[in-house]
Structure 1
Amino acid sequence: MKIHFLFFCFISAFCNAQNQYPFFPKDQHCYLGSFPEFYKDFHQILNENKLKPCENKKEFFTASVLIKTDNTAEILENKTSQENKCSFELSKEVMKHMDKWIPAKIDGKETATIARILIYMDDLFENYKNGYTINNVMTKSDFDVQEFRSEVVKKVDMDDFTFKGKGNLKIKTKFAINEQGELDELEMIESSGLKEFDEMILRAIKRTLKNRKWTPAKIHDVPIKSTFILPFSIKI
C-alpha cells in the first residue's frame, strides 16, 4: 500500500467564524486599503470623537466582526470581549463610523462573513504610527511547523488501519498553541468519513505534542494564542 502525505499548515491570524457564518476568505480584503487603512481610520476616529484610552494598557482584544453584504459591519461579543470590556466597547463605538468594509465573495456571490481582527488598543491612541499593523508588534511562537510535520508523519501507523480499494482520504484538524505554550483545543473540523482514520490522525498529533511546550506568540509582551488549521490529504 503506497501512501502519499500532502500536509499543509495555516495559522489563523485574522479571520474566524461563529457557527452561523462562514470564515472570511483568506485571499480577500475585508476593508478597503487592507489592515493599514483599517488601523489608520480606527486611530483617527478615536481622536475625532475624543474617546478615552483604557486604564489597562495591555488589553489585547480579538474582535469578531460580522461584515454584511450592504458594506456595513457589526462587532459581536465573544470570549475576549468579556475579558477586555474596555477595548470591546471602544471598538463598538469606533466601528459605527467606519465605512470602507468590503463583503466577501464566495462562489461569486456576496456573503455575510465573520472577520477576526486583532486590536491592541494602546497602539491606536498616541502611540499610533503611520503604516501600523498588528504584525509590526507581533512576535511569532517558536513552534516549528516543518519539525512538527515530520514528527506527526512518523507517528501515523497505517498498520493499524485497513482501507479497501484505492482513493483519497481528506481531513482537516485544528489546534492551538495557547498563552502558556501548550497544545489546546485539538479537534477534527472536517472528517475523512472514516472514524478510525480520523482518530488515528488525532492520536498522532497528540503523541507529537504531548508534554511539550513552546514560547507562545506575543503582541508586545502579552502572550497570545495561535490557532493552526492542519489539512491532510492521503492517497492510498
Structure 2
Amino acid sequence: MSYAQLEVLAGHPRGQSFYVGGINALQKDMIQIVKNKELLPCARTDEKYHVKILINADATIKYVKDFDTVNINKNKCAFDYSRKIIPALKRWIPAREGDKYIGAIAEFEIDPFFLYYSKEDPKDNKSTGPMFKKGIKNFTYEMRKIAEKHAHKNEDKVSFITFCINEEGVMVDFNVEGDYSESEKKNIINDLYKIKDTWEPRIFNGIPVRSTIKQVLRQKFAPELEKDYIDFYKQNL
C-alpha cells in the first residue's frame, strides 16, 4: 500500500513532537546507542544524512524511500549509521488530530561525528565556528579584490561560492555557481586558491571539524551612479 492510500501528514502539527522529550531527548538516545553499539565515527567529519521516516498511528515506523542515490553514495557512512541507530529508538510519537492519532512524516539529521564526540547531554557540548586568522575584515577584503577583478560593467549578476575549511584550517573544495561563465568560474576558483592565509577550524568538544561556508556574490549595475557595486555577506559561519 502506498502512502497516498494512507492517512498521513507531511509533518506533526505545530506544538507536537515526534519523539518523547523532543529533539534533545532524541539526540541523547542516539548518543547512548552509538556508545552501546561501539559505533565509530565516519572518516569525513562533515558527513551527515537527512532521515525521513513515517511514524504510524500505532507508533511503529517505516523508512520513507530516498531516491537521491547520489547523496546517499556521497554520505554512505552516515546513511549506514542511520540504519544501525533508528531501529534501536523506541519512543516515537504519532501525530494527533483531535482525539485521534494519525501517521506523519518525521525528519531529522544523522551526524556521526556529533553523535560519537558529543557529551551525554548535547546541551553540554562546546563548539566554536571557523575564524579567519587575520580577521574576517581581511578575508572580506581578499574576496572583494577577486570579485572586482572579474566584474563587468552593465551587468547584474548573482553567484554563489561554497568552500570547505578542513581540520587543518585550509580552504579546499571551492565551487562557484550562478551567472558567471564556466571559464570565469574556473578563474575565480584559481584566484581563491591563491589566498594563502589559513583559518582556525571549527572546534567541537576540543576536536577540529571540517566545515562548509557559503557566500553570495551580488553585482548590481546602477546607471545613475555609473559604476558597479559588488556586495558580499557571509552565511553559515
Report the TM range for the smaller structure's normalisation.
0.5 to 0.7
In the alignment, which residue of structure 1 is the partner of 2:85?
A: 91
SS class of match (2:185): helix
Give the 3 Å change call, closer, same or farther, for CA 182–32 of structure 1 in structure 2.
farther
Alignment check: 8 A CA contact 2:42 2:78 kept:
no
Identify the structure with bigger relative contact order (alpha carbons < 8 Å, sequence gap 6+): 1
Distance, in Å, in 2 between the alignment partners of 1:39 and 1:133 is 8
Amino acid at match of 1:154: K
Task: Choose the corresponding residue for 1:192, options 179, 183, 192.
Answer: 179
Tell me, yes or no, if structure 1 residue 118 matches structure 2 residue 111. Answer: yes
2:86 aligned partner, one-letter code: K
Question: Is 1:212 matched up with 2:197?
Answer: yes
Q: Which residue of 1 aligns with 2:157?
A: 169
1:54 aligned to 31, 34, 38, which one? Answer: 38
Secondary structure at the aligned position of 2:48 is classed as: strand
The answer to whether residue 147 in structure 2 is matched with residue 153 in structure 1 is no
| Residue 122 of structure 1, CA deviation | 4.5
- State the aligned residue count: 183
Q: 1:95 to 1:63 in 2, by over 3 A?
A: farther
Residue 137 (structure 1) aligned to one of 126, 134, 150: 126
Letter in 1 for 2:111: L
- Consecutive unaligned residues of structure 1, counting only runs of 5 or more, are 1-28, 102-111
Q: Distance in 2 between matches of 1:217 and 1:167?
A: 36
Cα distance in structure 1, aligned partners of 2:179 and 2:161: 11
2:24 paired with 1:39: yes
Q: C-alpha distance in 2, partners of 1:100/1:139?
A: 36
Q: Which is worse superposed, 174-183 or 190-199?
A: 190-199
Residues 73 and 196 (structure 1 numbering): CA distance in 2 closer, same or farther, change over 3 Å? Answer: same
Unpaired segments of 5 or more residues in structure 2? 1-13, 57-61, 96-104, 222-237
The 1-side partners of 2:159 and 2:106 are apart by 23
Structure 1 CA distance, aligned partners of 2:108 and 2:219?
Answer: 31
Task: Please give the secondary structure, in 2, of the residue aligned with 1:93.
Answer: helix
Q: For the residues of structure 1 that align with 2:36 and 2:46, how far apart are their CA atoms?
A: 16
SS in structure 2 opposite 1:52? Answer: helix
RMSD: 4.6
Deviation at 1:152, TM superposition (A): 1.3
Question: Which residue of 2 is the match for residue 226 of structure 1?
Answer: 211
What is the TM-score normalised by the length of structure 2?
A: 0.55
TM-score where L is the length of structure 1: 0.55
Structure with bigger gyration radius: 2
Change (3 A) 1:57 1:78: closer
Distance 1:141 1:79, change over 3 A: same
Q: Name the aligned partner's letter for residue 93 of structure 1.
A: P
- The one-letter amino acid paired with 2:131 is D
Does the CA-based 8 Å contact 2:51-2:107 persist in structure 1?
yes
